[in-house]
Amino acid sequence: MKIDRMNKGDWGKLRAFFDVRTDEGFVIKGFKLVEGINGLFVGMPSQKGKDDEYFDTIFAERDLRDDLTEVALEAYNSNSTTEPEDMPVEPPAETEEEETSKVAEEVGELNVSNKEEGTPVQPFSDDDVPF
């Protein structure tokens, strides 16, 4: 068994998503590497039920689960990434200050365009908020 693809990140307690390729050639998708009280552990693929709770779709004996955890931790701790090279990389999220300055620039542009049309621009106050 080997890790086919691992997507590392920091999503709350989740540290990585990965797929496993068995010796027989099966690829099982949807494993998770989760930060728990006692360290990292492997979460099995799961599906949401009708009662909005998640249920494991893969069941493994303790020995197999321990082997899988060992292989996953080895792949996670290695410096090489196992993501395909052709996957697009998301740009970093903008900070709140950058978003605020962009909105301020856009509002400024709107005010300029209104002034050019001859429409007076009224200042905004907290009293204008309906709640």
If one looks up domain 2-77 in CATH, what number appears?
3.30.1120.40
Q: Compute the average pLDDT of residues 80-102.
A: 51
Query: Looking at this protein, which amino acid is placed at residue 116?
Result: E
Mean pLDDT of 59-74: 92
Q: Within 13 A of 123's CA, how many CA atoms are on the CB side?
A: 2
pLDDT at residue 31, as a whole number:
94
Domain ranges of the chain: 2-77
Whether 96 has a pLDDT exceeding 90, the answer reads no
Comparison of pLDDT for 81 and 33, the residue scoring more: 33
Q: What is the pTM of this model?
A: 0.57
> CA-to-CA distance for 76 and 38, rounded, in angstroms?
17
Q: Is the pLDDT of residue 57 over 70?
A: yes
